Amino acid sequence: MNDSGSHATATLTALDNGSLRVKITGSGFTPNSPHAQHIHGASGSHAFMCPGPGADKNGDGQVATEEGLAQYGDVFVSLTTKGDTSKASGLAVDRMPVADTDGNLDYERTIPAAQLPKGTVDSLQHLHIVQHGLDANGNDKYDLAALGESVFAKSLGVKGIPEEATNPATCGEVMPSGAVETGGASTDGIEQAGLLAFGGIALLGAGAALITRRRIRTTA
Ligand SMILES: [Cu+2]
């Protein structure tokens, strides 16, 4: 998003014990900088999607976090490196992954079932992952000179945060992948059709390709 130059692939794996493994590999991120990242949306809702350029309400050329919220929904899970993963940790940049000197960003965490909002696994294919933080003026850091102060952070009572630090860099819609539940041939066919449909939607979207994969349940 937002000409960030960032690309990432995320794999969400719903494990048999109800926990969720999240693996993200990305490049082109603002180097040596933290990138807030979240699963956005709501359980049971099909209404959300990655925002297009039209979401840029104030016409500054960037879809800011608050401008995208109507499309991708509120923070559902904060993809922190440790500790709390609720919405309350949305801007906990001291626990967000940091891109390396070359702008590569890798993340892996398994979030226990008890720590996930109700209905997370059942709603996976209607959720989105958004990674925040970009470098609009090409100086390899977040600074106020580029886009000014973050309207979003300010709305949460945090002043002096550059807009660059909070604007979305990638957004990806979760697509189903692999077999789900029992392994009948007809079930597989349905799943394939679903995959194609979601693929079409994803092409309209964004920088991040997202895949959800459920363990194949083998039968004796
Ligand atoms: Cu977010």
Give all domains of the chain, ordered by start, each with its CATH number. 7-214 (2.60.40)
Q: Are 210 and 10 in contact (CB under 8 A)?
A: yes
Give the up-direction half-sphere exposure of residue 136: CA atoms within 13 A in the CB hemisphere: 22
Range list of β-strands (E), the chain: 7-14, 20-27, 37-40, 75-78, 105-111, 128-132, 168-177, 208-214
Distances in Å between the Cα of 73 and the Cα atoms of 116, 191, 202 are: 17, 26, 17
Q: Are 4 and 31 in contact (CB under 8 A)?
A: no
In the predicted model, what is the mean pLDDT of residues 66-94?
Answer: 95
Ligand 1 centroid vs 24 CA: distance in angstroms?
Answer: 14
Sign, CA torsion 114/118/122/128: negative
Instruction: Please spell the DSSP secondary structure of 180-217, one letter per residue.
Output: -SS--HHHHHHHHHHHHHHHHHHHHS-SEEEEEEEPP-
Ligand 1 centroid vs 220 CA: distance in angstroms?
Answer: 42
Ligand 1 centroid vs 210 CA: distance in angstroms?
Answer: 15
- Measured CA to CA, the distance from residue 198 to residue 9 in angstroms comes to 16
In the predicted model, what is the mean pLDDT of residues 161-184?
Answer: 82
What is residue 7's predicted lDDT score, i.e. its pLDDT? Answer: 97
Range ranked top by mean pLDDT from 64-73, 75-84, 152-161? 75-84
Distances in Å between the Cα of 24 and the Cα atoms of 182, 211, 218 are: 27, 10, 27
pLDDT in tens, 16-56: 999 999 999 999 999 999 999 999 999 888 889 999 999 99
Ligand 1 centroid vs 25 CA: distance in angstroms?
Answer: 17
What is residue 177's predicted lDDT score, i.e. its pLDDT? Answer: 84
Does pLDDT of 73 surpass 60? yes
What is residue 31's DSSP assignment?
A: T
Ligand 1 centroid vs 38 CA: distance in angstroms?
Answer: 4
Ligand 1 centroid vs 214 CA: distance in angstroms?
Answer: 24
- Measured CA to CA, the distance from residue 182 to residue 198 in angstroms comes to 21
Q: Are 217 and 17 in contact (CB under 8 A)?
A: no
- Measured CA to CA, the distance from residue 73 to residue 66 in angstroms comes to 10
Ligand 1 centroid vs 36 CA: distance in angstroms?
Answer: 7
In the predicted model, what is the mean pLDDT of residues 1-6?
Answer: 97
What is the pTM (predicted TM-score) of this model?
0.81
Ligand 1 centroid vs 138 CA: distance in angstroms?
Answer: 22
Which residue type does 79 have?
L
Ligand 1 centroid vs 137 CA: distance in angstroms?
Answer: 21
Ligand 1 centroid vs 134 CA: distance in angstroms?
Answer: 13
Ligand 1 centroid vs 215 CA: distance in angstroms?
Answer: 27
